[in-house]
Amino acid sequence: MSTANHLLAAALVLACSSASAARTDITIGMQLEPPNLDPTGAAAAAIDEVVYANIFEGLTRFLPDGSVAPALASSWEVSEDGLQYSFTLRTGVSFHDGTGFDADDVVFSLDRARAEDSTNAQKGLFAGIDSVEATDPATVVVTLSQANGALPFNLAWGDAVIVAPESIEQAKTAPVGTGPFVFSKWVQGDQVEIVRNPDYWGEPAQLEKATFKFISEPTAAFAALMAGDVDAFPVYPAPENLPQLDADPRFSVVLGSTEGETILSINNKLAPFDNKLVRQAVAHAIDRSAIIDGAMFGYGTPIGSHFAPHHPAYLDLTGNSPYDPERARALLAEAGLADGFETTLKLPPPSYARRGGEIIAAQLREVGIKVEISNLEWAQWLEQVFRGKDYGLTIVSHTEPMDIGIYANPEYYFQYDNAELQQLMVDLEATAEDDARSEILQQAQTIISEDYVNGYLFQLAKTGVANAKISGLWENAPTQANDLTKVFWQD
C-alpha cells in the first residue's frame, strides 16, 4: 500500500467517525413564547416548558411518570404529627453564576413565594406553611400549620423552584438556577438558547446545546418540521397532520397524556343550572366520542369526573353520563323545562374549545337547549368568566396536576358548594398515607361525577412529534415541561 493509499484510508476513517458521531444539539419547537423566564412570578406554561428541570430545580421534582422524586433535597423526614418536614439538602451544588447553594437559598425562595406581596401564580401551594428555617447549611425544616401530605408534591411544581437572592433580579430575562443547563441567550420573539452546565452536581446532560424556537402558526410548525428547522415539537399544535407525520419514517409521533381535564364548565349558581336535573341533562346530551373525533381528530381519553386517567387513584366514571339524548329530554321535562331554555357558551381561544364548542352547541340543541356562542380572548375570558362568573357554559382544560381541590372552593368560577366534598379535601390534606389518600380521592371523584357539577369531556392528549433518532423526551406531561436531561441522538 502506498503512502497515498494510507492517507486516503486515514481520511476515510476520520470522515466515517465524524459522520457517525451523534449530534449534540437540538431545536425544540414550541407554540407559545414565554413572557419571561421566571417560573415563580407568572402562570404561563411556556415558562416551565423552557426552564423546568433544565435551568431551575426545586427541593423535589416530577419524574416523567408523574411521581415525585428528590432533587435539591436528597431526602426528607416527616415528624409524627405530620407538621414538620426536615429536608436534607445536597451539598456541593452551586448556581450557574458560581454562588453556592445552601439552606439559606431555600429559606429565601420559599419565604419569597409565600410573602404578603408575592406575585407567585400558585401561592396556594405554600398556604399551609407556618415557617421555614435553616437549622444548618444542609438542613431546612418546614413547619406546617396543619398536616399536609402533599407537601413534597407541591414543592415539585415549577412555581416552587429554588432561586438565589443574588440573581433573582435578573431571573425574568437571564435566569440563574442550579440545573443541568445554563441560560445562554434569548432572541425575543424567536428563540431561547441553553447550553450544558459543565459543573452540574448530578449526571450531566448529553446534549451540549438546546434551542427553543417559538412558532405560533400550526402550518408554519408543520413546514419547520418538514424543512428540518426544528427537531421536535413536544406539543404539536396541528393534530390533523399527525397521520401524515406518523407515516414519514423521519419522524416519530408520540401520544401521551397530560394533566388537562377538558370540561364543559357549568355555572352551578345560575338558574336553571342550580338544578341538578338540568346539569345531568346536559351531561347526557353530550356525545364525548363525537367531540374527541371532531375537535381533536380522535386524540383524547373520555373522562367521567375531574381526574387524570393515568393516575393510580383514577376511577372510570364515564358510565354515570353516557350519551342519551332521550334521557336528557326526559330530565329537562322533569325539571319543568320541557321546552328547553337558552344559555351562553363562552369559548376561550384553544382549538379544543372553539371546535368542541360548535359540536357541543349542536348536541345541546338536539335536546332543546339553545346556546349562544361567543368567542373570547384569554384576557376577556379571565375577566368575564373566571373572575366575573358571567356565563352559563364554557369549555376549558384544567391543566394543573391533582387539582380536584378546586371543587372545595365555593368561590371558584363554577360556584359549586358542597360541604361533604369540602370536608373530604380537608381530610385529604391531613392524610400522608398513599392508600388512604387514594380512598379519599376516589370518593371525591364519585361525588362530583354524581352531582354532575360539570360536563366531563376528555383528558387532553399530548401529541408530540420528533425526529425518529431522538430519545429521552417525555412521553406524558405530568407537569408542563420539556426536561432535556436525558435526551440524546441515536447514532
Binding site for another protein (CB under 8 A): 33, 35-36, 42-44, 116-124, 172-173, 187-191, 213-217, 219-220, 223-224, 226-229, 349, 377-380, 382-384, 386-387, 398, 400, 403
Question: What is the C-alpha R_g of the chain?
Answer: 25
Strands 369-375 and 341-347: parallel
* Number of Cβ atoms within 10 Å of the Cβ of 22: 11
* CA–CA dist 259, 277 (Å, integer): 29
* CA–CA dist 202, 200 (Å, integer): 6
Q: Among residues 229 and 324, whose Cβ is nearest to another protein? A: 229
Taking alpha carbons only, the member of 411, 412, 436 closest to residue 424 is: 436
Q: How far is the CB of 282 from another protein (least distance, A)?
A: 22
Q: How far is CA 287 from CA 44, 205, 301, 359, 363, in A?
A: 31, 45, 13, 9, 7
Q: How far is the CB of 209 from another protein (least distance, A)?
A: 15
What are the grid coordinates assigned to 402, written together?
Answer: 391533582
Q: How far is the CB of 20 from another protein (least distance, A)?
A: 22
Query: Would you tell me the crossing angle of helices 351-366 and 276-285 to the nearest 10 degrees?
Result: 110
Q: Among residues 138 and 168, whose Cβ is nearest to another protein? A: 168
* CA–CA dist 232, 252 (Å, integer): 9
Compute the residue count for the chain: 491
Q: Among residues 229 and 439, whose Cβ is nearest to another protein? A: 229
Q: How far is CA 408 from CA 73, 227, 240, 448, 453, in A?
A: 31, 49, 38, 10, 12
Q: How far is the CB of 360 from another protein (least distance, A)?
A: 21
Q: How far is the CB of 345 from another protein (least distance, A)?
A: 19
Torsion over CA: 73, 181, 251, 398 (sign): positive
Q: How far is the CB of 221 from another protein (least distance, A)?
A: 8
Q: How far is the CB of 267 from another protein (least distance, A)?
A: 16
Q: Among residues 24 and 122, whose Cβ is nearest to another protein? A: 122
What are the grid coordinates assigned to 59, written together?
Answer: 427541593
Cβ atoms of residues 466 and 231 within 8 Å: yes
Q: Among residues 215 and 364, whose Cβ is nearest to another protein? A: 215
Q: Among residues 400 and 483, whose Cβ is nearest to another protein? A: 400
Taking alpha carbons only, the member of 395, 341, 388 closest to residue 373 is: 395
Torsion of CA 239, 242, 243, 249, to 10 degrees: 180
Q: Among residues 34 and 368, whose Cβ is nearest to another protein? A: 34
* CA–CA dist 301, 310 (Å, integer): 10
The H or E element spanning position 465 is: strand 455-467
Q: How far is the CB of 223 from another protein (least distance, A)?
A: 4
Cβ atoms of residues 73 and 59 within 8 Å: yes
Q: Among residues 16 and 468, whose Cβ is nearest to another protein? A: 468
Q: How far is the CB of 33 from another protein (least distance, A)?
A: 8
Q: How far is the CB of 45 from another protein (least distance, A)?
A: 9
